[in-house]
Structures are given as C-alpha cells and as structure tokens.
Amino acid sequence: MSAGDMRHAGINLGTTDQETHDQAEPDIFGFWIFLMSDAVIFALLFAVYGTMLGATVGGPTAASAYKIGPTFAETVILLTSSFTFGLGSIAMKHGASNRVLLGWFAATLALGLAFLGLELHDFATMIGDGAVPTRSGFLSSFFALVPLHGVHVLAGCLWLIVMMVQVPIFGRDARVKINLLRLGLFWHFLDIVWIAIFSVVYLQGLIR
C-alpha cells in the first residue's frame, strides 16, 4: 500500500474511486478536526462530571440513580449499530447495490433509534425516582454530559435519514460518498464517547 492510497484514517476510497478520494482528502481531514474539537467538549464535560461526583447534597448518588442493565443493553445496541454502519461503508466502497446499502443503513438507523428510545426511558425512570438535574450539582453534570451524547446520536440519525434519501436521488456521486464517510466517522466517534460514558459514568454506579 503506497502513501497515496491511504491518506486519512478511516475507510479510504483510493483503490475504487481515485477522483473522489482526492477530493475527500481535505473534507475528511476537516471533519476529523471537527470531531477533535467536539471531543474537547466531551472531555471538559467529563472533567466537570468528575469534580461534581461528590456534590450530591444528600440527593441521589451514582450508586442509587444508575441502572446498569438497560445501559449495558444500550451499549450493545450502539456498538452493533457501528458494526452495521461499517458494513454499509464497505458496501459503498465496493459498489454494492442501493438495496444492500440502504439495508445496512436502515438497520443502523433502527438500532440508533432503539438506543435513543432506551436512553429516554432511562432518563424518565431517573426523573421519576427524583433524580432530576435541579436536585444537585452531581445530577446537573450527569444531565449535561449523557444527554449531549444522546443529542449527537439524534443528529446522526437525522443525517442518516437525509443520506438515505440522497442515495437513491443522486446515486453515488462524490458528495454522497464523502458525506457517508463523514457520517461514518461521526457514528463511530459517538461509539467511542459512549464507551467512555459507560465506563466512567455508569460503571462507577456499581461501586458501592
């Protein structure tokens, strides 16, 4: 593999579509930078969460507020959605039919929406149990960090829907391909953030 074939991290289109690959270079690089900037936001919210762990002020604590079962299910679902998206990306790279491509994306979308549904159900349970963000600094920091990831997933789902409309309309022109590459990065990035949330936030709930 020469240097020109593999220019940016993630799926490269080099061997199958050289022209789009050249165009993708600044676009994908720019999106990486965007993700890193976004990662700073998450990192800071994690830091704030860390400093706020003790600020429960007699209210619910990590141990009492979190339910590990549903969040584990959410983790599995989101990781699976990353896998299905990955298969979709490979299908795109090697020119599979629209039906195959859209099938993988539909699966990803379904998993994403399922994740969101479960997460919303979690939040509703917490709020029903009195673990509301206005109760303490600790819960405030939880409800800033975790739902922000949820909003990202929602945006990802919306983006995915738009792409599922564009694939039949425009076929696989350069912009569709590049946007799918970007969306892929975004989707996998959200996975990584979620793994951090699951380990740093939810698993700590198991520590009694």
Partner 1 sequence: MTDGIWPALLGRFTWNALAFVRAWQNPTVNEIIGAGAAMMVVLGAASVITLITVTGKWGYLWREWLTSLDHKKIGVMYVVLAFVMLARALAEAVLMRMQQAAAVNAPGFVEPDHFAQLFSTHGSIMIFFMAMPFLTGIINYVTPLQIGARDVAFPLLNSISLWLTGGAAGLMMVSLVIGRFSTGGWTGYPPYTELAFSPDVGPDYWISAVTLGSIASTLSGLNFAVTIYKLRCPGMTLMRMPLFCWTTLCTSILMIFAMPPLTVATALLALDRYLGFHFFTNDLGGNMMNYANLFWLFGHPEVYILILPAFGAYSEVVSTFSSKELYGYTSLVLATMAIAVLSFTVWVHHFFAMGQSANLNAVFGIATMTIGVPTGVKIYDWIWTMFRGEVRFTVPMLYSLAFMMTFVLGGFTGILLAFPPLDYLVHNTLFLVAHFHNMLIPGLLYGMLAATHYWFPKAFGFRLNEKWGRIAFGCWVFGFYLAFMPLYVLGAGGAARRSQAFFEPAFRPWLYVAGVGALILLAALTALFVQLWVSIRERDANRVFAGDPWDGRGLEWSTSAPPPEYNYAVIPVVDGRDPFYDGKRDGDGYAVPAGYEDIAVPRNSMVGPATGILGAGLAFGLVWYIWWLAVLCLAGIVATVIARSFIRDVERIVPAADVARIEDRWHHAIAAARPISRHHETTPANQGLAEVTA
Letter string b/e over residues 126-164, b meaning 16 or more CB atoms within 10 A of that residue's CB? beeeebbbebbbbbbbbbebbeebbebbeebbebbeebb
> Could you give the CA distance from residue 12 to residue 14 in angstroms, rounded to a whole number?
6
User: What is the maximal distance between C-alpha atoms in the chain?
Assistant: 61
Minimum distance, C-beta of residue 43 to partner 1, in the bound complex (Å)? 9
State the binding string over 126-165 for partner 1 (x if CB under 8 A, else -): -------xxxxxx-xx-xx-------------x---x---
Residue positions counted in the chain:
208
Is residue 42 within 8 A of residue 196, CB to CB? The reply is yes
Exactly one of 6, 9, 55, 76 binds partner 1 (CB under 8 A); which one? 55
Report if residue 41 touches partner 1, rule: CB under 8 A: yes
Report if residue 22 touches partner 1, rule: CB under 8 A: no
Which of 100, 89, 104, 101 has the alpha carbon at shortest distance from 11?
89
Report if residue 10 touches partner 1, rule: CB under 8 A: no
- Tell me, what DSSP letter sits at residue 10? S
Report if residue 201 touches partner 1, rule: CB under 8 A: no
Report if residue 72 touches partner 1, rule: CB under 8 A: no
Exactly one of 18, 125, 130, 175 binds partner 1 (CB under 8 A); which one? 175
Minimum distance, C-beta of residue 162 to partner 1, in the bound complex (Å)? 6
Exactly one of 57, 151, 192, 195 binds partner 1 (CB under 8 A); which one? 57
Report if residue 204 touches partner 1, rule: CB under 8 A: no
Report if residue 84 touches partner 1, rule: CB under 8 A: no
Residue type, 131: A
Minimum distance, C-beta of residue 147 to partner 1, in the bound complex (Å)? 10
